[in-house]
Copies of this chain bind each other. A is one copy, B any other.
């Protein structure tokens, strides 16, 4: 005869994800992971277009994201130059560099915490 199935349900592998971002008072637009990547690549390549290409996003979006980010923070993140031999360039302001450094530390802090928090979460789920 049949016995009841054990009450412990089979569980699948689950993953805890997180996302952090900065926003302004209006909530319109954000400075997120992708913005930081964009800034990082601008610093590396010296060009918004090159950064956008590298990220495989449209120049239009990259430009708009940067615009939003500067609007949210209230100061310039890049010095843009039009014309010239290479057509133009974008370089990071000192503020952008500092922002990247601060973000890296923040990111690290979260990564560490998330792993720990997830373990705790899972163990609570299993009703230890």
Contact = CB atoms under 8 A, between A and B. Distances in A.
Query: What does DSSP make chain A's interface, helix, strand, loop or mixed?
Result: mixed
A106 B110 contact: no
A36 B21 CA distance: 21
A14 B18 contact: no
B21 A74 contact: no
A1 interface: no
Contacts of A10: 74-75
Interface string A4-32: 00000111111111111111110000110
Contacts of A98: 124-125, 127
12 contacts: A10-B74, A10-B75, A12-B24, A12-B25, A13-B24, A14-B22, A17-B30, A18-B21, A105-B120, A106-B117, A109-B117, A110-B113
